[in-house]
A and B are shown apart, each in its own frame.
Chain A
């Protein structure tokens, strides 16, 4: 994992002291809320329905057990004993006191963490593949590049006041586990003729105007990746709209001027800056890459697993993925217990996951955009012990990518922007389908409590959007979305439902799917084969 050098540490420490002074001035009345709001947002501090909310960055979703324990400590000491892992691979706390915020940031800084780039119109925390460094299908480890992007983007003077927030994902496999093409910029590392480079996608995103990112560059060699990205950002910063917040994202710019015109602008800018020294020296890249060297895997680790415990075998099949190293595996810890709150983990659960990473997982954890936690490097021989510990802590739900593995935003229970609650709906769906979810197979269901789409409803095989209908909660149903390599945007089925009505509608959809599916067809594949109409008939009669 990456370790801060003196420069990293000094800028984070300086930011903590700067914010401490700003908070003191706000509490004394020297700053108005209008003056203070942009300052607190630059430090991840929002004001939500019930209290201040602090969003802490987990760069590219990677952290070690010491950092994970700090997240549990903050939940216990400053919040109400839990945290909420988000679709941006971050964590947020819902009950923060303003006066405590500088102390929290100071404690985070002691373990090389912060809340920078978790809000505001800057380049946000870089997201990546939660299986990075462990997946058998990657051409390179994307984390050194994600770290380089972090260093490039942090406090970048040109890109601190962009027209709107800007999200970047970097992956290095054909299987897209990071919803890469639903980011403002998506980077897929590739190797061609022995040369490492990247395919660049621009203009994706969800929100009120969902769009899939366009391919802007077929292949840029790795030694010019940063300067090419700088050119992409410069063109957006120059032409992105600042007069209308709803038209300010880069996806709107590409939509309005066209991908070819945007590409031409980027190429012209790139030609002007590519030799100005923006790309890092190879020595710096080598320094960063060396920190991501994999652990020393035991070469003689046994490859077989005792499956005699049937509950363990179910979890093994559902939540454990192949590792590039024989005798090892990747474990996804579900934060979606049936009837629970998607993405929430208590301080005790956070500590337990840290303990397991330290004892069995080479001290590494990952946060996924689907609001789960990954232990990327564990020996197969340790899987049963890990599962037993998780089961005792209510963390062993065997539901990865099944209908109860629901992405859900905090919704109207916490969020000041929401129009409807998301979590109660997720709980009801989980309970309704708990007994038959394995029969349904892979079925990704995603819920947003408002049009801002933090719950990724556009990318759900089944998506749900909560809206306000004359003061009451109403839910629209979407079918056919995907955030994976087969990316697509869901389509609305028709008129919306109340809370119970939408759960019933989903059951009618899944019943129709079971009747229509061929062989091992996933729900999404059946939908794509037969179209919307059979499902509309099932829902509305």
Chain B
């Protein structure tokens, strides 16, 4: 599957395209399929998100899992500061990245 991601213009937060808007949680991301480039161009025009780009991901029971470790770290947060990730209470969250 293909996901569309970028960083929120104002906060810099990592965000994922949900089909209608942007979410901080990769679980909300949708497969943009062949529409990725068109959505990307439209969103670039809207200027809410910095440098949006398309990535490959795998559909899993827990939701989309980006193919590359860099995007998995973007999705969760720094592996060395679990307290600053999006899932600070989940002791196994780091395993999802690696």
Contacts and interface: CB of A to CB of B under 8 A. Distances in A.
B82 to A, nearest CB: 11
A341 B47 CA distance: 35
A423 B80 contact: yes
B11 A32 contact: no
Given A50-B13, A52-B12, A424 B79 contact: yes
Nearest to B71: A49
Given A50-B74, A341-B80, A412-B69, A27 B12 contact: no
A34 to B, nearest CB: 9
B77 A412 contact: no
B13 A471 contact: no
Contacts of B51: 33, 47
A49 B9 contact: no
Interface residues of B, number: 22
Interface-central residue, B47, B74, B78, by most chain A CB under 10 Å: B78
A50 B9 contact: no
A437 interface: no
Contact of A99 (B7, B10, B77): B10
A97 interface: yes
B79 A421 contact: yes
Contact of A26 (B9, B13, B73, B79): B9
Contacts of B7: 47, 51
A471 B84 CA distance: 25
Contacts of B81: 341, 413
Nearest to B80: A423
Contacts of A39: none
Contacts of B20: none
Contacts of B80: 341, 413, 421, 423-424, 427
A80 interface: yes
Determine chain A's interface SS by DSSP, over half rule. Answer: mixed
Contact of B11 (A51, A412, A423, A471): A51
Contact of B50 (A33, A95, A471): A33
Interface residues of A, number: 28
A471 B7 CA distance: 22
A50 B75 CA distance: 8
A505 interface: no
Given A50-B78, A341-B80, A471 B67 contact: yes
A80 to B, nearest CB: 6
A98 interface: yes
Contacts of B70: 49, 412, 418
A472 interface: yes
A435 to B, nearest CB: 22
Interface in B45-65: 47, 50-51
14 contacts: A33-B50, A33-B51, A47-B7, A47-B12, A50-B78, A51-B7, A51-B11, A51-B13, A98-B12, A412-B70, A413-B81, A423-B80, A424-B80, A471-B69
Interface of B: 7, 9-14, 47, 50-51, 67-70, 73-74, 77-81, 84
Kindly list the 10 A-B residue pairs having the minimum CB-CB distance in the complex, ordered from nearest. Answer: A51-B12, A413-B78, A52-B12, A29-B47, A423-B80, A97-B11, A49-B74, A413-B80, A33-B50, A98-B10
